[in-house]
Amino acid sequence: MRKLYDWVDERLDITPIWRDIADHEVPEHVNPAHHFSAFVYCFGGLTFFITVIQILSGMFLTMYYVPDVENAWKSVYYLQNEVAFGEIVRGMHHWGASLVIVMMFLHTLRVFFTGSYKKPRELNWIVGVLIFCVMLGLGFTGYLLPWDMKALFATKVGLEIAGSVPFIGDLIKVLLAGDDTIIGAQTLTRFFAIHVFFLPAALFVLLAVHFIMIRRQGISGPL
């Protein structure tokens, strides 16, 4: 492993980059050995860890999922019952979708109650809220993909809520569903595209901005 690292470092000079990332002093108030309350500062890292699991498990699921009304449920059934470890991976993705929202909510509460959203971190707070919205969007769009009755009726309720937004509600509903009268093939295709392409792209950009600002501004102080 060391020889491989030296070989890459000789050609790309990655050591200064790695040292800039790794050689970062951690404040004493986030060290659980000194402060019991420091564990609340782990919520952000745990949220990112679960997000990585969601990305990896989602990549595995897309290898078998077929986003059309004839084969969507069949592909999920095949994945869960015929593919090796498919049930485990789908279970990780299913429960991880709920857990990542819970952890992000706890992380948001920690940031709010410790005042970490204040100057000079206002922009990072805004980015964090946008990440939260993207995560909620991922949860909503992913719920329809199994194409069962529960997903169908839950999505119908969600679209009705979106349609109740003043002035632009009908536009949002048609944009998501493809049709303002029925949830069908266009709806499934659009939800799949939004879930797999558009929202993950936005998430990657927002996470990069979030981490860059954390790196520049450092970890916030205690309450």
pLDDT of 223 > 70? The answer is no
**pLDDT tens digit sequence for 149-181:** 999 999 999 999 999 999 999 899 999 998 767
- Average pLDDT of the residues in 58-85: 96
Angle, alpha carbons 90-94-100 (nearest 5°): 130
Going from the N-terminus, what domains does the chain have, and what CATH number goes with each? 34-217 (1.20.810.10)
Position 25 scores a pLDDT of 74
Confidence category of residue 13, pLDDT binned at 50, 70, 90: confident
Confidence category of residue 35, pLDDT binned at 50, 70, 90: low
pTM of the model: 0.90
**pLDDT tens digit sequence for 108-131:** 999 999 899 998 899 999 999 999
How far is the C-alpha of 193 from the C-alpha of 171, rounded, in Å?
18
Q: What is the dihedral of CA 41, 42, 44, 46, to 10 degrees?
A: -170
- Average pLDDT of the residues in 56-83: 96
- Residue 89, classed as helix, strand or coil, is helix
Angle, alpha carbons 51-207-93 (nearest 5°): 15
How far is the C-alpha of 55 from the C-alpha of 199, rounded, in Å?
12
| Nearest in space to 40 (alpha carbons), one of 99, 101, 111, 100 | 111
Give just the sign of the alpha carbon dihedral 84, 89, 90, 92.
positive
Asked if residue 158 lies in contact with residue 172, where contact means CB atoms within 8 angstroms, the answer is no
Of 23-27, 63-67, 164-168, least confident by mean pLDDT is 23-27
Position 105 scores a pLDDT of 97
The length of the chain is 223
pLDDT of 47 > 90? The answer is yes
